[in-house]
Amino acid sequence: MKTALLGGSFNPIHIGHLVMAEEVLLATGCDRILFLPAYIPPHKAMDDPGAEHRAGMLQASIDGDHRFALSRCELERAGVSYTIDSLRILQSQHLVEEHPCIVIGDDLVEGFSTWKEAEALSRAAELIVVHRMSAQKLPFGYPHRYLDNRMLPVSSTEIRRLIREKGAWRYLVPEGARRLIEKHGLYGYSAD
């Protein structure tokens, strides 16, 4: 089974994440996407309801799709999440193959060299770069494959703002995530 790892804060998961994940499967021949929600993402400051809420929204959003799975390895490890550490843990537990794919957004390409053990990571996995902020292929000094994916103009930051301001957000997130946001009053949601 060929796996593509997709890490992130998923704060909250939205339709853009899921469409991109499906496009990765179709374009790469991978059999599954393994979502890795970060306990504490090293490259983002966030309005965070907590790792368990983010993982819960993600799980509720992918339930029923056998091509998608959630790994709790970064949540169980706690602390700041580094992709190379997660890859090594997943491989040591035989949960992913020797040379899986790792999906990164083009918004992370410029800073990739600052990632923990970036060189080792680029040798241990096939890097799949997806368009998130630029329709053009951005220069990237590591071996990689650039996908010609669709860019949906939706972001977790914008969704959190819309929830706080009582804007139109409900159809930007999968139904499972929407139910949990409403049930737990996440991101300042209130029914009135």
pLDDT of residue 81: 84
Per residue in 49-65, pLDDT (tens digit) is: 999 999 999 999 999 99
pLDDT of residue 80: 85
Strand partners, 4: 33, 101
Q: What is the DSSP letter of 136?
A: S
Residue partners of 70: CB distance under 8 A and separation at least 6: 34, 35, 37, 55, 58, 59, 62
Predicted confidence band of residue 78 (pLDDT cuts 50, 70, 90): confident
Tokens of 91: 């491989």
Q: Is residue 97's pLDDT more than 70?
A: yes
Per residue in 110-139, pLDDT (tens digit) is: 999 999 999 999 999 999 999 998 999 999
- Cα gap 61→179, rounded to integer Å: 10
Tally of CB atoms within 10 A around 105? 15
Q: Is residue 43's pLDDT more than 80?
A: no
Q: Domain 3-151 in CATH: superfamily?
A: HUPs (3.40.50.620)
